Amino acid sequence: MDTIITSKDLQNHLDDFRNSQKSIGLVPTMGYLHDGHLSLIRKAKSENDAVVTTIFVNPLQFSETEDLDIYPKDIEKDTFLASDSGSDFLFTPTYEEMFCDDLLTTVSVQELSSVLEGASRPTHFSGVATIVAKLFNIVGVCSAYFGEKDWQQLQVIKRMAQDLSYRVEIKGCPIVREKDGLAMSSRNVYLTNDQRKEASNIPESLWKAHEKIKNGERQSTVIKGIISERLDRSSMIDIDYVELVNGENLTITDEIDELTRVLVAVRVGTTRLIDNMNALEGINL
């Protein structure tokens, strides 16, 4: 695996690949790789001739009160893991490489960005979309792999790619979970042992809700109630939102159907965690 820090260098390598009709898979990340990220790299490798993994802790998607300065990093381990999972290039641009000047151009995907996560993090998705747009432009024609863990992000990026005619195929990949069901996240390291134990209530609440749906319940309010009740049992968990939405346009759904996505965001101490499932498919615990 080659580690590359400039866009020009990456483009030169990728042009060579494309000139010989080879396909490229792109996996954008903020690093501190775990099995969730690695599942994207493996999937990309299984479907393409070459995989580019990017690591860039994107300041645009953090608000002033968020954890940009303390976001976990371990570039040595990441380099080993990315290579071991089949990545051919690791693109680790510096801040200056990505923002040689202050950006005067940004990308925002209206409507999809202002609800759910966007309600409490108003600038988050335009930060994500802007940086992903830059990566798409740097990498060019490719398939890009994103986790369903960040469901809303996946919808925002799909829509951006469609609206702006990117020659990039967006591929959503299933959530990878810890043994107790907690969705893997680089931020899980912030949790104390007690908080980590309590965090397993998040997947359990989704599992319980899905049991009810399997038994025929179709009213969103009932399902929201089951999840909230389960999460409220833990004094360490503060609910930000529990919502049932149309999984594509993210509008609130009263009645559950095959497109319904159940989305949860909570704070455990100061750590914000999110999770989601398809209402009819549920999650594997």
- Please, are residues 239 and 226 in contact by the beta-carbon 8 Å criterion? no
40 binds ligand AMP (CB under 6 A): yes
Nearer to ligand AMP, 117 or 226 (CB): 117
Q: Which of 26, 175, 199, 264 binds ligand AMP (CB under 6 A)?
A: 175
- The residue ranges of DSSP E strands in 18-88, in sequence order, are 24-29, 50-55
Q: Is 37 a catalytic residue?
A: yes
* Interface stretch with ligand AMP, choices 15-23, 169-177, 240-248, 277-285 (CB under 6 A): 169-177
Tell me whether residue 37 or residue 134 sits nearer to ligand AMP (CB atom): 37
The token pair at 176 is 């990878």
Q: How many residues bind ligand AMP (CB under 6 A)?
A: 17
* 206 contacts ligand AMP (rule: CB under 6 A): no
3-state secondary structure of 135: helix
Number of H helices, E strands in the chain: 10, 9
Of residues 42 and 256, the one with the C-beta less far from ligand AMP: 42
Which one of the spans 15-23, 180-188, 213-221, 261-269 is the region binding ligand AMP (CB under 6 A)? 180-188
CA dist 255 and 263 (Å) reads 15
Grouping H, G, I as helix, E, B as strand and the rest as coil, residue 53 is: strand
* Adjacent-strand bridge partners of 91: 4, 54
Look at residues 131, 55, 58 and name the one whose alpha carbon lies nearest to residue 90: 55
Q: State the residue number with the nearest CB to ligand AMP.
A: 147
Helical H runs in 85-150? 95-98, 117-120, 124-139
**CA separation for the pair 127, 129 (Å, rounded):** 6
Judged by CB under 6 A, the residue of 129, 139, 168, 176 near ligand AMP is 176
- Under the binding rule (CB under 6 A), the answer on residue 126 touching ligand AMP is no
Which lies closer to ligand AMP via its Cβ, residue 145 or residue 256?
145
Q: By CB under 6 A, tell whether 37 contacts ligand AMP.
A: yes
Strand partners, 208: none
Distance CA 285, CA 224 (A): 20
Residues 158, 160, 164, 165: what is their CA dihedral angle, to the nearest 10 degrees?
-10
HSE value, Cβ hemisphere, 13 Å, CA-based, for 184: 16
Of 13, 34, 37, 210, catalytic = 37
92: contact with ligand AMP by CB under 6 A: no
Selected binder of ligand AMP within 113, 126, 185, 276 (CB under 6 A): 185
Nearer to ligand AMP, 148 or 226 (CB): 148
Give catalytic residue positions: 37
Residues found near ligand AMP in the complex (CB under 6 A) = 29-30, 36-37, 39-40, 146-147, 149-150, 173, 175-176, 183-186
